[in-house]
Amino acid sequence: MRDPSDDIPVVHITDHAYERAKERLSWKTSVLEKMAEKAYNDGICHKDTKGSLNKYVSGVWARYKKANRIRIYGENIYLFCGNSLVTIYQLPQNLRKHVKYCQVPEKLSTPKP
């Protein structure tokens, strides 16, 4: 992960998350570490979702109440407790198209000088 002296928080990955990434996505450790960090920092938050995607994310959150940060990045949904990745799921095929409509405007725009 990143150096603790950076402003960006370090993402901790639980053993369960490693197992689920290998089982569900066939990801190796290094891929999960990179994607978890990207999801934590740049992913779409639960509050930024709408419609059927929000309903699905709310349902996932209801099953994992210890997860206080849910992020969607790419085609996957990441469940964090603090800065620890607890588990990861693939988004259902019918919801993947909705992700592009939930992008946060400041993440899409170019940085201001």
Q: Are 64 and 86 in contact (CB under 8 A)?
A: yes
Q: What is the reported pLDDT for 7? A: 55
Task: Specify the number of domains making up the chain.
Answer: 1
Domain that holds residue 81: 12-102
Q: What b/e readout covers 11-40, taking b as 16+ CB neighbours within 10 angstroms?
A: bebeeebbebbeeebebeeeebbebbbebb
Residues in the chain: 113
Does any domain span residue 112? no
- pLDDT of 43 higher than 80: yes
Does any domain span residue 111? no
Q: What is the reported pLDDT for 8? A: 57
- The residue with greater pLDDT, 9 or 91, is 91
Does any domain span residue 78? yes
Q: What is the reported pLDDT for 108? A: 47
Say if strands 69-73 and 76-81 run parallel, antiparallel, or are unpaired.
Answer: antiparallel
Does any domain span residue 54? yes
Calculate the average pLDDT of the chain: 84
- pLDDT of 71 higher than 90: yes
Does any domain span residue 1? no
Does any domain span residue 50? yes
